[in-house]
Structure 1
Amino acid sequence: MNFPLILFVLLVITGCIYLLDFLFWKNKRAEGESEPWWIEYPKSFFPIILIVFSLRSFVIEPFKIPSGSMIPTLLVGDFILVNKYTYGIRLPVINKKVIDMNEPKRGDVLVFRYPEDPSIDYIKRVVGVPGDVITYHNKQLIINGEVIKMDYDGDYKYVESGHGYIYSDRYSEYLNKEEGHSILINQDVKGLQYSNVRDFPFRDNCKYHRTGFTCEVPPGNYFALGDNRDSSSDSRYWGFVPEENIVGKAFMIWWNFGSFDRIGLSIK
């Protein structure tokens, strides 16, 4: 379901009725005559729809986390808020950028339209910006020839639907050298499932081998990985994130029905 498009259509319909009544229909009604329901209801809903549409399109949009690909940063069932303007102002529905602002940087948790099906929203962490050379070798991330620091933080277990408990190692990874974020590494799973690698735009920028891969990020694109490294469908498999697919930057968890202590946590 394309909710932004539905909201836009409702905004146009109620707005047109509001305007036509203001310009024409109101003057034709007899003094004291009540508005017909098909005018009263759209006029009542128009300001509400306008506010919701404006907030979702230009300021903040809510999302729900449907999978475990970003564990332990984000859990299944987390409701998050996404900053829609930090990377620039985009026209709603068509997602066309009209005002440039900041560019995504390594470490940002990015919401974007899935390149293989733009009707689906994905969330991953940016590990490569245009021009970066990304190497993943034996589950070690290397950017532009520099090994990214990882500190072991102990064991971590979580429940995955259909699999029961999954046991992994938890690390702090330092993409920007100043502030770390948590990732999971499952030593029982290969770092790259080569059979899942698809043919994607700029596929020639990547070289795959038995223990990993090396990719050069093309202009106007980003390389994104899930924090749950061995349980994530990400740029390793379906390729780069085009700039035009970016929705915004995730910054806060605003609700979780199963864990109230997660409410209000910032996303790092």
Structure 2
Amino acid sequence: MADNRKYRYNEEFNDDFLTDIDDSVDDGIYFENPDDYDDDLDYSTSASKSSSKKSSSDDSSKSNASCKKGTKKLIVKEILSYIKILVIAAVIALIITKFVIINAQVPTGSMENTINVNDRLIGFRLAYIFSEPRRGDIIIFKFPDDEEQNFVKRVIGTPGDVVTISEGKVYVNGEELVEDYIKEAMIDDGTSQTYIVPKDSYFVLGDNRNSSKDSRFWETTSYVTKDEILAKVIFKYYDGENAKPTFSLFSRS
């Protein structure tokens, strides 16, 4: 009898205990919903991905901006480099044309057929630093009657020479010049002229003797001083008669 009661008591106790536990589970006191963790995990992962994408996008934007900035700097550097080269080239060209060579275009036919109208020439400014002009040289010089103009003629008489023009012929120190470069024979005007060339001066004529304003016809003097000589003509690089580039060296005749 006693054993039966004990069994029932224990059974009743166990039922109550189970009931309490079930009630606790139902009330949600001891356990948390695992779905809550999943939601938190998903949210955290999504936020992390979003943050990562944003960071990657920011890095990409910064990288693109940096590349564009670098490209602009490179372009500016290249432009400045070209400008520097052009300035240096311009300065060198200025120095060369001012002190080394002279570029001349001939507007008249006074030197035909050696030099024709609109021919372009290069003269060497330094030709007479260590030497003197010689007979037959073609020179560029300041026109004695108007130094704003430059003339091109051939040297005929040098310092101390006696130049005589008679019967359409030229004589230097009593000897007739053999001139195979003149366009045509000089017209004989029935007169004879004699010139004694002074020191540091030169008597010049055009190769087209019948159409040249040269030492025979100047008003202030009949001579070109060495100081007035700008250059010795070296070559022709443009043929004005045929309107095309050319290259023709001038040698003393």
TM over 0.5: yes
1:77-92 alignment, distance < 5 Å: 77-88=118-129
Match of 2:216 in 1: 236
Label 1:263 to 1:213 Cα distance change in 2 as closer, same or farther (>3 A): same
2:97 matches 1:56: yes
How much has 1:184 moved relative to structure 2?
2.2
Label 1:223 to 1:262 Cα distance change in 2 as closer, same or farther (>3 A): farther
- Aligned with residue 116 of structure 2, among 67, 75, 88: 75
How much has 1:87 moved relative to structure 2?
0.7
Which stretches of structure 1, 4 residues or more, deviate above 6 A after TM superposition?
A: 39-44
Instruction: Tell me, in whole angstroms, the C-alpha distance in 1 between the residues paired with 2:208 and 2:191.
Output: 18
Q: Which has the larger radius of gyration?
A: 2
Match of 2:206 in 1: 226
How much has 1:220 moved relative to structure 2?
1.2
How much has 1:185 moved relative to structure 2?
2.7
Instruction: Tell me, in whole angstroms, the C-alpha distance in 2 between the residues paired with 1:45 and 1:212.
Output: 57
Task: Name the SS for the 2:89 alignment partner.
Answer: helix
Greater helix proportion: 2
Contact 1:82 1:248 in 2 (8 A): yes
Q: Which has the higher contact order (CA 8 A, sep 6+)?
A: 1
Contact 1:62 1:80 in 2 (8 A): yes
Instruction: Tell me, in whole angstroms, the C-alpha distance in 1 between the residues paired with 2:114 and 2:85.
Output: 41
Instruction: Tell me, in whole angstroms, the C-alpha distance in 1 between the residues paired with 2:198 and 2:239.
Output: 37
Aligned CA-pair RMSD: 2.6
Letter in 2 for 1:211: T
2:239 matches 1:256: yes
How much has 1:40 moved relative to structure 2?
11
Task: Name the SS for the 1:185 alignment partner.
Answer: coil
Letter in 2 for 1:184: K
Match of 1:126 in 2: 155
Label 1:86 to 1:44 Cα distance change in 2 as closer, same or farther (>3 A): same
Instruction: Tell me, in whole angstroms, the C-alpha distance in 1 between the residues paired with 2:127 and 2:168.
Output: 31
How much has 1:144 moved relative to structure 2?
0.7
Write out per-residue CA displacement over residues 38-64 of structure 1, whole angstroms, 9 at most, x where no aligned residue.
x99996754233111211123222111
Match of 1:47 in 2: 88
Instruction: Tell me, in whole angstroms, the C-alpha distance in 2 between the residues paired with 1:263 and 1:231.
Output: 25
Q: Kindly tell me the number of residue pairs found equivalent between the two proteins.
A: 172
Contact 1:80 1:254 in 2 (8 A): yes
Instruction: Tell me, in whole angstroms, the C-alpha distance in 1 between the residues paired with 2:148 and 2:93.
Output: 20
Task: Give unmatched runs, 5+ long, in structure 2.
Answer: 1-72
Contact 2:166 2:193 in 1 (8 A): yes
Contact 2:123 2:233 in 1 (8 A): yes
How much has 1:146 moved relative to structure 2?
1.2
Instruction: Tell me, in whole angstroms, the C-alpha distance in 1 between the residues paired with 2:84 and 2:244.
Output: 40
Match of 1:214 in 2: 194
Letter in 2 for 1:130: P
Contact 1:64 1:79 in 2 (8 A): yes
Match of 1:184 in 2: 183
- Structure 2 length normalisation: TM-score? 0.61
How much has 1:147 moved relative to structure 2?
1.8
